[in-house]
Each structure stands twice: as structure tokens, then as C-alpha cells.
Amino acid sequence: MPRIYRVFFVYFHESASNFPRSVLAALRFVFLRRGFLAMGQSYATGFIRADPAAATPDIQTSVAVLSFDKPGDRLHDFPGFTLTARRLRPESRGTVTIRSGDPLAPPAIAPNYLTSEKDCAVLLAGVKANRRLAQSAALRPWIAREHDPGPSCTSDADLMEFLRTRGGIAYHPVGTCRMGSDAHAVVDARLRVRGVQGLRVIDASIMPTLVSGNTYAPTVMIGEKGAEMVLEDAAAAPR
């Protein structure tokens, strides 16, 4: 299940025009490969226990050094940054269903975001935690105002409406070919597709549940372990 993410935007106190600074940043990148344009999007992240009763952190928050309405859109024309709240270990479950015998036909995907009351409550608490972070002594001097959802969005109902209409995913989907021994599992403990000879799935989709953080490192581990299994089974096969 993809991890839910959503954000609110804030922007720095700066002059009305940042054109000269943008030109200098572009030139510095072209000739020196340094500066803001040589940076990744997100340079700081942290884990928050939004639910005090949670045994481990349930929200991952990140700071991105840019501001936009949604991924893929143009950047805002004011200098800003983005605070992101991601729900860790979501309980909501979606489905990916084959619609046709044609292998080129797209599947039916129903993500079912925020169908769990627990997911809604924790993500709501995560957004409030980000707002408290923005009001902290360390950040407050650098912030002019909250851009999105904005200071008028204060009630839990309004914040949930914002999350439902403007939320998205963090591009860490897992579980569509989950590993297990029950009737609904797609692959077995050696990543072999059940009921299909000679086929394995070796990627993040075999995770039964989402890990508490980014999926890159666990996916590399899955690839290495899966490759080891393939070699082991090939060596054990009769010749």
C-alpha cells in the first residue's frame, strides 16, 4: 500500500524578486556543478510519535527545499520550502486486480487511501506536529506565513478535507505481490509465484507490510537476497 503523504507549504522572508538569485544559481550549477540546483529535493527528515501511545514513531516528516502545489507542477514564484507528513505503517489497504487476459491491458487499481480511521487520526496529528515545528524558535524567524493549507484551515474537519483532496503518495508502494503462506499471498518464502513454474518476484512488492521509513535500502536487500536464492536453487537443480 503506498504511504500517504501530505504537506503544507511555508515561505521565507525575502525580497519580492528572486530573479537575480535564480540566474546566479543557474550559472553556478552550469559552470561549477554546485549550489541549490546540485542538491536533492529533501535534505532533512525526522520521525515523530504523533500518537503518544505508539510504541515507535508513526509519522515521518521531511523538509524539501522547494515549494509547489503537487509533484510535477511548476515551482511557486516565491521562495519557499515544504514540510511533509508521511503516515508510517498505514492500515488502509488497496487492491490491484487483473481486468483482462491481455498482458498489455492496465490493471484495475483501487488505492483506498485513508479508509482506516487510525490512518486519518495519525496523519492529522502529523500535520499538527509539522505546524508546531514551523512555530518553533529555530524555524519561526525564517517563515513569513503558511501558504497551504493556510492559516484559515484550523479545524480537524477542514484539515482532513485538505488531506483527502490535496494529499498524495510518497512513491513507496509495496505489497501488491506480497510474500506469505496464506491463500492470498502471491509469492512464497523463496519469492516464487505460487502456482506458476519458474517465475519469481524480487522487488518491494513482496513486502507483506510497509517498513517504517524509505523503501530503497530494504529493496536493495530484497534484490540481493533474491539473487542469492536464484543461484542456490540453480545449483541444487538436477543436471
Whether the CB-CB separation of 59 and 126 falls below 8 Å is answered with yes
**Residue 182, phi then psi, degrees to nearest 5:** -85, 175
Report d(CA 59, CA 42) in Å as an integer.
16
Per-residue cell: 136: 518553533
Nearest to 146 by CA among 18, 48, 12: 12
Report d(CA 75, CA 123) in Å as an integer.
25
Q: Any catalytic annotation for residue 172?
A: yes
Given the residues 13, 76, 147, 172, the one annotated as active site: 172
Catalytically active residues are 172
